Amino acid sequence: MSQSSNFLYGANVHANGIRQHFLRYGGDAGPRGQQDPVIVVPGITSPAVTWGFVGERLGATFDTYILDIRGRGLSSASSQLDYSLDAQADDLAAFAHAIGLTRYSVIGHSMGARIAIRAAKAAPGMARLAMIDPPVSGPGRRPYPAKLDWYVDSIAQAREGMDAEAMRVFCPSWTDAQLKLRAEWLHTCDERAVRESFEGFHSDDIHADLPTLRIPSLLMTAEHGGVVDDADVEEIRGLVPHLQHIRVPGAGHMIPWDNEPGFYEAFGTFLGAPV
C-alpha cells in the first residue's frame, strides 16, 4: 500500500448464509462520515480487487466498500451454491446489514446493476442507485452482445495460469497493469457461477423490477458496445420517471477502464458530493 492510498483493509463477513469478502477504502472519519457510504457491486467476471482503482477514487470522498459477488474473488463458491439473481440480491442487502450500514448508495456495474435493481426492493437502507451499463436482455428481448465463450475460454486459461499477454487476446484495449491484474484474479471466478449468471441475463426480467425503484436513480451508459441503446434508455425512463441518464463518450461497456475521467465526471453530485 502506497502512502497516498486510502485502502483500509480486506475482510470477510458471514451474511445471507455465505462468506462475503469485501475491500474497504476511505473509512468514515472526518468529512467522509458526513456522506452516505458507497457499496460497489462489480460485474460477471470482476473480482473486487479489479475495481481497486475506482475504490481509491471514491474513497477520497466516501466510505467505500467493494464487494466480491458470490462465486467470484474470495467470497463463497461451491458446486452446490445458488447463483441466481435473487440469491445475489439477497447477498447485497444482507451484506449492508451485517456491516451495520443503515443508509448507503450503491454503484452496480453490468450484472452488478441488475443485482442492485433486484435488491432495492428488500434493502430499505439503499438511498440511491447508480446503474452502470446494465444488460437489458431478458425474456423476449435481444441477447446480451457478449458471448459466453469469451468468459468461459478466458477463465479456463486463467485456471491453468496465464500472463498479461495471453489476456490481451481477450481485452486488447486494456493497459498492461489492468491485464496483469485480470490474469491474476480471473481464475477466482467460478465457471458455473458465470454460466448461470449469463443465462440469467436472458431469463431474468429486470424490467419488471424497475418500476419499484423509488430512490434517486442514475443510469450511466457507454457510447460504444451496444449494451444499452437509445431506445433502451427511453424504455427505462418510462419505467423510472425520475431517472437521470448520462452517456460516457469514448467508452465501451467497461466504462472506467475506457474513460476513467469521464466515468467519475458522469456522477456529478449524484452520490451527494462530486467524485
Query: Does the structure show a pLDDT above 80 at 2?
Result: no
Q: Mind listing the pLDDT tens digit for each residue in 68-125?
A: 999 999 999 999 999 999 999 999 999 999 999 999 999 999 999 999 999 999 899 9
Whole-number pLDDT of residue 3: 61
Q: Mind listing the pLDDT tens digit for each residue in 55-70?
A: 999 999 999 999 999 9
Please classify residue 4 by burial: count the beta carbons closer than 10 Å to its beta carbon, then call 0-12 exposed, 13-18 middle and 19+ buried. exposed
- First-residue to last-residue Cα distance in the chain: 22
Which pLDDT band, with edges at 50, 70 and 90, does 1 fall under?
very low
- 44, 50, 52, 53: CA torsion to nearest 10: -110
Residue % of the chain over a pLDDT of 90? 98
Average pLDDT, stretch 216-238?
98
The amino acid that residue 160 corresponds to is E
Q: What is the DSSP string of 66-95?
A: EE--TTSTTS---TT---SHHHHHHHHHHH
The one-character DSSP state at 178 is H
pTM for this entry: 0.98
β-pair type (64-67, 18-25): antiparallel
Q: How far is CA 155 from CA 88, 93, 152, in A?
A: 21, 28, 5
Average pLDDT, stretch 216-243?
98
Average pLDDT, stretch 132-153?
97
Whole-number pLDDT of residue 4: 87
Q: Report the C-alpha gap between 222 and 259 in whole angstroms.
A: 10
> How much is the mean pLDDT over the chain?
97
Which candidate, 117, 110, 109, places its Cα nearest to that of 86? Answer: 117
Query: Does the structure show a pLDDT above 90 at 268?
Result: yes
Q: How far is CA 165 from CA 47, 134, 175, in A?
A: 20, 29, 11
Whole-number pLDDT of residue 257: 97
Q: Mind listing the pLDDT tens digit for each residue in 165-197?
A: 999 999 999 999 999 999 999 999 999 999 999
Give all domains of the chain, ordered by start, each with its CATH number: 7-147+202-267 (3.40.50.1820)
Q: Mind listing the pLDDT tens digit for each residue in 26-50?
A: 999 999 999 999 999 999 999 999 9
